[in-house]
Amino acid sequence: MRSTPQPALSLPATLRLGLFQGCLGCLAVIFAGLLNRVMISELAFPGLLVGGALAFEQFVAPARVLFGQISDSHPLGRRHRVPYVLLGTAGFCLLAVLSVPLIFQVARYLAEDAQPQLAFGIAALCGLFALYGLAVSLASTPYLALVIDRTTERERPRAVGIIWCLLTVGIVVGAVMISLSLRSLDGIRDPAVLEPVLLGFMVRVALAVMLLTVIATWGMEPPSPAGRSTVSAGHQEEAVTLRQSWRLITSSRQVLIFFSFLILFTLGLFLQDPILESYGAQVFGMPIAATAQLNAFWGIGTLVGLLFAGLWLVPRLGKMETARLGCRLIVASLLALLLCGFTASVPLLQVVMLLFGLAAGIGTNSALCLMLDLTLPEAAGTFVGVWGLAQALSRALGKVIGGGLFDLGRVLSFGSGPFFPFALVLLVESLVALAALFMLARVNVRQFREDTGRSLARVLAMELG
């Protein structure tokens, strides 16, 4: 049954709805930046433990499909989207607060080498981040469906562009908040002092995120009439099964090539995620508040890169050439990030992070455009799910591999100083970005559509016959 028509989203309504995405960006800075740095630099966690625990947030990404189906078919209070957004937000806000005391408890077990308490503590930490990822999926999947429900195909690019920019704005705001709120921790490494300050900060952030989410979603979804579904017509199409999806992926060489490109591209952007703020702390001597600002420089550069690519580069150079340029700039900025470690110059590091963000924005915009081009209308949900799985998988692998490489670098450095482990991570990440550029050269949009269209028809025929 077709959805009940809803009024188009005005610009103020789109900005208000985008507050939720900004909140996700803010929390991403806290989890991917602040907690990483505290665990590695202040609490002396092994890098592999930090990256592995945080990776569980992405390992549960396939649950997005399930939450999307539940949101489609099981309304709460006669609403399909907003109740799930609020429920998921309440869940990840609570888990964000609980993460602080658990991290410090694991640190105590680690310092005392207390077994089996340490093993249980590590398992609990991994479980908490997995639950956090599930809560984010529960909130964000119906949220994106709400954006689709409230926009026409013509209106959607503007709405998605605004909301994506607000995600980056949230990253910048989160970094500034950390910098202003945690200045009192400069130079402090005592867990007894760190824990209460970080816990209080996390409680304030969680309350603000919950309030902003309520404001963002208030009145955005009218209740559906009794006995009728408000699910958009696109959601009512017959779904492609998981078995069909796997057959479709493996039946087309071009799908595998682009899937591999997305994994390598995302790894080339985020392999340094677990160690970036610790890089600023240990090599450049920056306090907690200052290393948080690195995310602000990166976020500002990304925002400029997204807008510059969308408004000027892609229309002039084309999507494929802009994607190649983005990959080259990412390689160059990663090498610059490595080389500036020899100088230990904080202003130079900030400039490089700005340039890295600019490269990331250009590459991300063109990669998203290519992703939409390489999505067949006959199986749009399947392809979007596959591309999303590639990105989630690579974000998770990035945390694990980045942390593991850092630990390997510490072993191989033989006490030569703090720089070598970080340099190893950045060098490998540069090589991964080069591999993404090589894989991009093998993507052929026309051949993709021809080969995959035939594969889709063959897969569906096999299922019917």
Tokens of 146: 């709400």
Contacts (Cβ under 8 Å, ≥6 apart) of 53: 122, 125, 126, 129
Nearest-angstrom CA–CA distance, 326 and 231: 37
pLDDT, residue 236, reads 42
Contacts (Cβ under 8 Å, ≥6 apart) of 458: 251
| Residue in the structure block whose two tokens are 């051949």 | 447
pLDDT, residue 451, reads 65
Tokens of 325: 């340029």
Ranges of residues in the chain with a pLDDT under 50 are 1-5, 227-241, 460, 462-465
pLDDT, residue 428, reads 96
pLDDT, residue 460, reads 47
pLDDT, residue 314, reads 82
Q: Amino acid identity, residue 312?
A: W
pLDDT, residue 237, reads 40
| Residue in the structure block whose two tokens are 């071009």 | 254
The HSE-up count of residue 57 (CA atoms within 13 Å, CB side) is 20
Contacts (Cβ under 8 Å, ≥6 apart) of 385: 64, 65, 245
pLDDT, residue 29, reads 87
Tokens of 51: 């990256």
pTM of the entire predicted model: 0.77
| Residue in the structure block whose two tokens are 């150079």 | 317
Please state, as a whole number, how many other Cβ atoms lie within 10 Å of the Cβ of residue 42.
Answer: 19
Contact 400, 51 (CB under 8 A): yes
pLDDT, residue 452, reads 62
Domains and CATH numbers, the chain: 8-222 (1.20.1250.20), 237-465 (1.20.1250.20)
Burial label for 186, CB within 10 Å (0-12, 13-18, 19+), is exposed
Burial label for 226, CB within 10 Å (0-12, 13-18, 19+), is exposed
pLDDT, residue 251, reads 67
Q: Pick the closest to residue 367 from 281, 451, 433, 294 (CA basis).
A: 433
In the beta sheet, which residues pair with residue 76? 79
Decide: helix, strand or coil at residue 53. Answer: helix
